[in-house]
Amino acid sequence: MAGSLELIKSDTVTSAVSTVLVTDVFSANFDVYKVTVTGFELGGSPLSGHNLQFINSSGSTVTSSDYDSATLGMKTLNTYSEDKTQNGTTGRIGMSIGTTPNEAVTTLYVFNPFSSSSYTFYLNQSIGYGNQWVAGKSIGVLKQTSSITGIAFTTNTTKTLNNGTVSVYGVK
């Protein structure tokens, strides 16, 4: 993605949480956003899948069955893995999170989240280390024409997210 970036918000997680909420970051000022996630540590091993949900203009996390996504996991020691979800309650992302800090980086692009006349699309790429290096690529869509103002990150297990920083930029 070419263009200049404007930092909108940066949040740091300093303790174990089940969900990382980043609110009030999407607005009418930009159509495309870059979200970086660095240094997340998973509370326990082995690595697990990771998900996102969007937050609407009412401040509520969108949990309806309107997420479609596909993820490719490229592992250094094993065969690759694929994950496809249709009509899910979360969007799957290839966000690799290590079991020690600073072993994971994710870059996510979100398209048209604030527009109430189009779906919200995203794509991401990531790298992380648990017992092996895992690179991931994902695409997804929230099939709603609601105005989205934030994003939430979770795991697909009962594990927590410890430490790490989420930064959101508007792409000019």
- Which CATH number characterizes residue 79's domain? 2.60.120
Q: Find the range with the poorest average confidence among 59-68, 91-100, 140-149.
A: 91-100
Q: Which of 19-33, 35-49, 74-88, 131-145 has the highest mean pLDDT?
A: 19-33
Q: Answer yes or no: is pLDDT of 10 > 60.
A: yes
Q: Is residue 3 part of a domain?
A: no
Instruction: Examine the pLDDT at 1 and tell me if it is beyond 60.
Output: no
Q: What is the pLDDT of residues 74-123, one digit of tens each?
A: 888 878 888 899 999 999 887 656 666 556 788 999 999 999 999 999 99
Domain contains 149? yes
**Residue-range definition of the domain harbouring residue 23:** 8-171
Long-range CB contact pairs, 57-63, < 8 A, 24+: 57/146, 57/147, 57/148, 57/149, 59/23, 59/149, 59/150, 61/21, 61/152, 62/142, 62/144, 62/146, 62/148, 63/89, 63/90
Q: Is residue 61 part of a domain?
A: yes
Residue whose entry in the numeric block shows the structure tokens 């997340």: 40
Q: What is the pLDDT of residue 114?
A: 98
Q: Among 48-52, 64-68, 119-123, which is the least confidently predicted range? A: 48-52
84 found inside a domain: yes
Residue 99 belongs to some domain of the structure: yes
Q: Please state the domain count of the chain.
A: 1
Q: Model pTM?
A: 0.90
Q: What's the pLDDT at 95?
A: 61
Specify if 2 maps to a domain.
no
pLDDT of residue 50: 75
Residue 140 within any structural domain of the chain = yes
Cβ atoms of residues 94 and 137 within 8 Å: yes
More confident site: 53 or 128: 53
Q: Residue 1 falls within a domain, yes or no? A: no
Q: Per residue in 15-33, pLDDT tens?
A: 888 889 999 999 999 999 9
> Across all residues in the chain, what is the average pLDDT?
87
In angstroms, the CA 126 to CA 38 distance is 10
